[in-house]
């Protein structure tokens, strides 16, 4: 029964996003599990900002992050109908290799990737497309990013 609910949810998301020209998909907590962000947050509190950032930038080559299968199925469906997909993250550019390692072979789905280094902004993304007529949507696990009608909050 749970598999039916999962498929219905993916179909509902697809219907919401299929008229999009561009979809920005978050990494941590959306495409893969949130374990790195959780560890970063704990380290930030216990060790301080500098130690946490140093660990995240240089040492956290986490293996085995769990990929969200529902999001992957959604992305494949969107890719098949020609929606431009952008990997979108608050990780820094110095974490590109780690991110590509975390996302593994699902990286081929994305037309491009953007590393916002803790400055991710839905408004700035949408501003780029104002006047173009393109429909831009977001798939994210945080409501401050997936905040508009048609976005998907995972």
CATH number (domain holding residue 30)? 3.40.50.1000
How many domains are there within the chain?
1
Return the minimum-mean-pLDDT range out of 12-16, 53-57, 100-104, 141-145: 53-57
Asked if the structure places residue 21 within a domain, the reply is yes
Cα 11 to chain center, whole Å?
A: 19
**Minimum mean pLDDT range among 7-11, 57-61, 73-77:** 57-61
Residue 50 maps to a domain = no
Of 80, 78, 88, 70, which is closest to residue 19 (Cα–Cα)? 78
Does residue 49 fall inside a structural domain? Answer: no
Residue 43 domain-assigned (yes or no): no
Q: Residue 125 is part of which domain span?
A: 2-34+66-153
How high is the pLDDT of residue 62? 64
pTM (two decimals): 0.87
Residue 121 lies in a domain: yes
Evaluate whether residue 14 is within a structural domain: yes
pLDDT in tens, 93-115: 888 888 888 888 899 999 999 99
In a domain, 71, yes or no: yes
pLDDT tens digits for 28-54? Answer: 999 998 887 788 788 889 988 888 878
């Amino acid at each position: 029964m749970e598999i039916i609910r999962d498929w219905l949810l993916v179909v509902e998301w697809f219907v919401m996003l299929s008229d999009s020209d561009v979809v920005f998909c978050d990494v941590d907590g959306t495409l893969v599990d949130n374990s790195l962000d959780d560890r970063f947050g704990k380290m930030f509190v216990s060790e301080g900002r500098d130690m946490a950032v140093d660990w995240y930038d240089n040492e956290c080559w986490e293996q085995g992050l769990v990929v969200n299968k529902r999001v992957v199925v959604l992305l494949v469906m969107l890719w098949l109908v020609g929606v431009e997909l952008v990997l979108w993250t608050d990780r820094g550019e110095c974490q590109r290799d780690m991110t590509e390692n975390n996302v593994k072979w699902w990286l081929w789905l994305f037309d491009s990737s953007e590393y916002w280094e803790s400055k991710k902004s839905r408004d700035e993304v949408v501003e780029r497309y104002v006047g173009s007529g393109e429909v831009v949507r977001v798939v994210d696990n945080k409501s401050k990013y997936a905040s508009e009608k048609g976005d998907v909050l995972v």
